[in-house]
Structure 1
Amino acid sequence: MKVLMFGWEFPPHISGGLGTACYGLTKGLSKIDDLDIIFVVPKAYGDEDESKMKLVGANNTHIKQIQEHIRKFKSKHTYLEVESELIPYNDPDEYYTFRNSKLFGKNKLFKVNSEGKLEFTGKYGANLIEEIYKYAYVASTISMDNEHDIIHAHDWLCYPAGIAAKEVSGKPLVVHVHATDFDRSGGSVNPKVFEIEKMGMDAADKIIAVSNLTRNIIIEKYGQDPSKVETVYNAVEPVSYEQKQANKKGVKEKVVTFLGRITMQKGPEYFVEAANAVLKRTNNVRFVMAGSGDMLEKMVARAAQLGISDRFHFTGFLKGDDVFKMFEISDVYVMPSVSEPFGISPLEAMQSNVPVIISKQSGVSEILTHAIKVDYWDIDALADAIYGIIKYDSLSRVFKEKGKEEVDNLKWTNAARHVHQVYSTVIN
């Protein structure tokens, strides 16, 4: 079975849980004997680990390749126009107008670079929608040039690419919902994002949700048939403990950590308020907010307003080994998310022998037993949980031991086998 998989980021070039989940699942799938994976990203940097799959960068696809397939592409998917004043197709400086009213609804101008390729940043910047459009365009050619039995598109950024590939190849499409805009926006959904999300789900032959929480949103908010939506829980990558043992805490106080995007979805304000409540009961604790986001300045200002800045530390965005270095010096990890489709970071913390407190409004709470669960808005309950773990060593020790044992059984190979079953069902 050959899988054409579309993602948006791939280690070491990641900015959050999506890239981590894609990498873990792909590694798990690579251990299944009858599976071959072609993993596509908008921009390949050349330093990615390709030992488990073939990695294809849309930024490395030549325009000449696209021209060879233009007639079929037009008939199957969209049409391409060249402005009348421009010179022949294969000139690297010309601009192409890519238009598909079904997918995008308006014209876009795509510039070809000096090597005859479309350029991608692969980031989440101001031109994100344009990059999604270009990605879908190039996906059609990649679909033609690579033999495959099934298409797998991760999250809304890749749904148009998955649809484009399906329309060209006729192969079944599986979309993987790692989050919806209802999670990210707190209910104030971006109409354009919602349109792309629903379009991808409508076009899919099967939908994978990362939790039952997300599955219910897909069914209720996007009008999808329950029989079409399958829950496959995420997992966590094993960690080398020999490497981590060198990391030592440089302070005597207990360390309580928030690690994630500092946005409304992640509930950082509840962490700050709970920290203030804990500091009224004990001074033997420091709080760390690791991450970046649009609420960072507001959180810094709130900590100052509460008079707890001397006990509060803001590290900025952490990734890779720095994440585990942070966990190594932490005594408690807190994830007070308002709406969390899954949440891999608590698993990483538990793997590092750190007790975790998570919101009941998270997908990961569906599968964890040895984690303290509170409503994200219940600041008193959150403060009590933090205080209990840092105050009573025996309680902390139980959560460390049982949590580590529990998370070690959450393997990507298990998730991969479940996804493989989904593939087989769709193909058959």
Structure 2
Amino acid sequence: MKVLMFGWEFPPHISGGLGTASYGLTKGLANFSDVDVTFVVPKAYGDEDTTKVDKIIGAGDIAIAHRNITFEDVQKKIDFYEVQSNLIPYVGEEEFYKITQKKIKAQSKLVETNEEGCLEFTGKYGADLIQEIYRYSLVARAIAQDNDFDIIHAHDWLAYPAGIEAKKASGKPLVIHVHATDFDRSGGSVNPKVYAIEREGMEAADRIITVSNLTRNIVIEKYGIDPNKVETVYNAVEPIEKKDLSIKKGVDEKIVTFLGRITMQKGPEYFIEAAYKVLEHTDNVRFVMAGNGDLMNKMVTRAAQLGITDKFHFTGFLKGAEVFDMLRISDVYVMPSVSEPFGISPLEAMQADVPVIISKQSGVAEVLKHAIKVDFWDVNALADAIHGIISYPSLPSMFKKYGRLEVDGLEWKKSAEHVKKVYEYTLKLANA
């Protein structure tokens, strides 16, 4: 079975959980000898890791590369296409324009396949996000015409038009993967253009994968999609080597960590308010907010207003090993998300033997048993949970022991096996 997969993030350059999930699923599928994946992603950075490049195919000065990526531990290669683009994950249309309008000048390039099967570009290439998505979909059509595959898989809304164009060009069935909706990102104040793209993708898809039942219900209720068309496949986590996770913290206090985008969706303000309440009762604790986002300045200001800046630290964006190092020195991990389709970071925290507190409004709450779950808005309950873990040694010991056992069973190979069954069922219906 050959899969043509469209996304927009691939390690080492990722902005959040979507890139991690796309990579984990792709690697999980690589465990199956009868599944071959060609992964297409916009190239926004220009400094991708080229250590595993076997072959580069270009057309003139157009930055498109075809390479093979090997997963060394499973001895499997996937085809990987990079397409020059300025797509920025997790950014709305208006914010994207503000970021890019001073950096990008419109260009005109031709999109076609030459005799060697390389891609050339035409069409408008400007600062508008919708035009970026359209450009990506043109590339998708060209790639679909030039490759042999059985099924199409598109990750999240920026890739849905690409998946649709690939389906039009090939007649092959389309599976879309809903990692989030604009209802999650906007708190309910959806962008009509984004909603239209999401709904068009859902209606065009032969099958829809959602990362949780929470997200599945949104797809059904908010987009009017037939429930029989939507299937939940939970995210997972990459296994890590079992070793001593201890690390010298540098301080004697307990450390409570928030790690993620500092945006409305993630509920950072509830973390700060809970921190204030905890500090009213104990001084032996420090709070860390790791990440960046549009609410960063507001959160810094609020911490100052509450007079807790001597016990509250902002690290900025962390990546790669920095994330795991932060988790290793943490005594509690908190994810107070307002609307979280899934949430991989609590799984990573549990791998680092860190007790986790998550909101009931998160998809990961559907699968985790050994985590404390509170309503995102219940600051008192959140503060009580934090205080309990840092004050009573038996609680963290229990969560570390059973949490690690639980998270070790959440493997991408199992999620990939479920996705493979979705492919097989979709192909069966298409060929009926």
Whole-Å Cα distance in 1 between the matches of residues 47 and 200 of structure 2? 30
Q: In the aligned structure 2, how far is the partner of 1:64 from the partner of 1:301?
A: 48
Alignment correspondent of 2:93: none
Partner letter of residue 211 of structure 2? V
| Equivalent in the alignment of 2:321 | 321
Does the 8 A contact of 1:38 with 1:55 survive in 2? yes
Letter in 2 for 1:176: H
Which residue is equivalent to 2:179?
A: 178
Counterpart position of 1:159: 160
Letter of the 2:83 counterpart: A
Sort the Cα spacing of 1:421 and 1:330 in 2 relative to 1 into closer, same or farther, 3 A.
Answer: same
TM-score by length of 1: 0.85
Farther-moved stretch of structure 1 (48-57 vs 402-411): 48-57
Q: Which residue of 1 aligns with 2:49?
A: 47
Change in 2 beyond 3 A, CA 1:45/1:227: farther
Residue matched to 1:248: 248
Q: Partner of 1:289: helix, strand, or coil?
A: strand
1:58 to 56, 74, 83: 83
Q: Is the 8 A contact 2:355 2:403 kept in 1?
A: yes
Cα contact 2:111–2:139 (8 A) shared by 1: no
Specify the code of the residue in structure 1 equivalent to 2:35.
Answer: L
Measured in 2, the distance between the counterparts of 1:317 and 1:196 equals 29
Residues 35-184 of structure 1 correspond to what in structure 2 (within 5 A)?
A: 35-43=35-43, 45-47=47-49, 50-51=69-70, 52-59=77-84, 66=112, 68=114, 96-97=122-123, 109-110=124-125, 127-184=128-185
Give 1:247 shift: 3.6
**Secondary structure in 1 aligned to 2:84?**
helix
Q: Deviations over 1:43-96 (max 9, x none)?
A: 175416611411111239xx7871559xxxxxxxxxxxxxxxxxxxx9x9xx94
Give the superposition deviation at 1:128. 3.0
Partner of 1:404: 404
Q: Which amino acid aligns with 1:136?
A: S
Give the counterpart letter for 1:379 in structure 2. Answer: V
State how far apart, in whole Å, the 2-side matches of 1:317 and 1:127 are.
26
| Residue of structure 2 in register with 1:224 after alignment | 225
Q: CA deviation at 1:110?
A: 3.1
Does structure 1 conserve the Cα–Cα contact (< 8 Å) formed by 2:245 and 2:352? no
1:246 offset after TM fit, Å? Answer: 7.0
User: What 5-or-longer segments of structure 1 have no aligned partner?
Assistant: 70-89, 98-108, 112-125
SS in 2 for 1:273: helix
Deviation above 6 Å: which 4+ runs of structure 1?
none
In 2, Cα distance between equivalents of 1:67 and 1:303:
55
Deviates more, 1:245-254 or 1:21-30: 245-254
Q: Which moved more, 1:131-140 or 1:335-344?
A: 131-140
> SS in structure 2 opposite 1:176?
strand
Give me the identity figure in percent. 67
Q: How many pairs are equivalent?
A: 377
Whole-Å separation in 2 of the counterparts to 1:406 and 1:303? 35
TM-score (norm 2): 0.84
Contact 2:141–2:162 under 8 Å retained in 1 = yes
- Separation in structure 2 between the aligned mates of residue 246 and residue 355 of structure 1, nearest angstrom: 14
Cross-structure match for 2:335:
335
Query: What is the CA–CA distance in structure 2 between the aligned matches of 1:35 and 1:368, rounded to whole Å?
Result: 29
Residue 199 of structure 2 corresponds to which residue in structure 1?
A: 198
Judge conservation of contact 1:58–1:139 (CA < 8 Å) in 2. Answer: no
Verify the 8 A CA contact 1:303 1:309 in the aligned structure 2.
yes
Deviation at 1:132, TM superposition (A): 1.2
CA distance in 1, matches of 2:150, 2:237: 27
Change (3 A) 1:67 1:394: closer
186 and 273 in structure 1: CA distance in 2 versus 1, 3 angstrom threshold: same
The gaps in structure 2 that reach 5 residues or longer are: 53-68, 71-76, 86-108
C-alpha separation in 2, matches of 1:308 and 1:241: 37
Q: Which amino acid aligns with 1:238?
A: P
Contact 1:335–1:358 under 8 Å retained in 2: yes
Q: Distance in 2 between matches of 1:146 and 1:59?
A: 19
Whole-Å separation in 1 of the counterparts to 2:197 and 2:265:
20
